[in-house]
Structure 1
């Protein structure tokens, strides 16, 4: 277990990173706008799963290997950048006025899996998310105590905080549901999301 003071310090330190708009928030706004509150859950779960992937890699030491190898780090960064840019372009295309509108109640059995995978990959392929567990987490763990349990505790606290943040944004988006349902606003929201994803990808590529 992590000391309560250390846990509180970690949450204070990671909060600005969570509050900074990123791929997870962009995906959340897009999918909630498109499909309602049910589409928020897979985004949250995908993001949280990504955090645990980074935590597991940190425990295993694999992330440290990537971060200390400039070639490996550049490869991970570029893969993540390409994914974000590709996702942004695909999202922009989905807002085309020439695209056929989706039926209101047509079942989409694989939709939830697709949203979950998008959120998961957006987090896993983000090297800056991995760097949290390599630069920030070590400051709040005690080397003379089991490392795995401490990192798991911090990752769980991190996951709960980001889940609360995304849930709060879900309710904010739903409050404006009457506006979000208009085709014009929907296209604007999707294209804004696309621009954010592309910008994040470019920033990751050139950072």
Structure 2
């Protein structure tokens, strides 16, 4: 086994607990699959993976490290990320209170968006699930810290860092995709139940509370 393969396996072992800890990406996947089917969940996964590559590229270029060394700049990043999470959380809590009963539509119509426009636009109106997944990851300082503090430990000193960093990001993305894809399948199997008005209101409130809590925790950490 080569040194690079050992490094990738070691990195995966290190990030596995972080990846499987419930957070923004998992919350987004469950919520979006409940709203529009498995395809919505895959868009969130794609956005999350894009975010991982963004962090890896910035870390390799030294740009993210500059932000981390500046306490003021890092605090601004934390506030932006916390504001994004808390804003979505508050919107969902409000939506869970005011959500009207859904008219009967077929599962295919709900997934494809062929039903009434208000059904198609209810979940987090104006925000594509890919953008939600991307911003939920990019604006998370903890995700950046993985590539600023953890990933460098698995790089060889004195060698170019961009390609090895992207290799670690690819392994991380594969792990993240498998984890979220599993939850997408589970959520998709229960999609009919999750789309009922009562369950959707409960899910909106629960998702909103989780995202709001994550936003507050981001500021407090």
Report the equivalent of 1:195.
209
User: Which consecutive aligned stretches of 4+ in structure 1 deviate over 3 angstroms post-superposition?
Assistant: 96-104, 106-109
Structure 1 residue 98, shift from structure 2 partner:
4.4
Q: Which one of the candidate residues 149, 155, 159 is aligned to 1:141? A: 155
Structure 1 residue 101, shift from structure 2 partner:
3.9
Structure 1 residue 132, shift from structure 2 partner:
0.2
Structure 1 residue 112, shift from structure 2 partner:
9.5
Report the equivalent of 2:165.
151
Report the equivalent of 2:17.
16
Q: Which one of the candidate residues 141, 145, 165 is aligned to 1:131? A: 145
Structure 1 residue 206, shift from structure 2 partner:
1.3
Residue-pair matches, total: 206
Distance in 2 of aligned mates of 1:129 and 1:91: 24
Report the equivalent of 1:45.
46
Distance in 1 of aligned mates of 2:198 and 2:70: 46
Cα separation, partners in 2 of 1:2 and 1:175, compared to 1, 3 Å? farther
Distance in 1 of aligned mates of 2:73 and 2:126: 32
Distance in 2 of aligned mates of 1:42 and 1:88: 20
Give a deviation string over 1:12-41, Cα, whole Å, max 9, x none: 100000011111111111000111111111
Give structure 1 stretches of 5+ with no counterpart: none
**Alignment RMSD:** 2.1
Query: Is 2:188 the counterpart of 1:174?
Result: yes
Give a deviation string over 1:82-114, Cα, whole Å, max 9, x none: 1100011112223234447487423759x8961
TM-score by length of 2: 0.86
SS state at 2:159 partner = coil
Distance in 2 of aligned mates of 1:97 and 1:78: 28
Distance in 2 of aligned mates of 1:31 and 1:89: 16
Give a deviation string over 1:38-90, Cα, whole Å, max 9, x none: 11111001101111111111011011111111111111001110110001111
Distance in 1 of aligned mates of 2:43 and 2:96: 21
Report the equivalent of 2:199.
185
Distance in 1 of aligned mates of 2:179 and 2:3: 23
Query: Is 2:108 the counterpart of 1:94?
Result: no
Report the equivalent of 1:36.
37
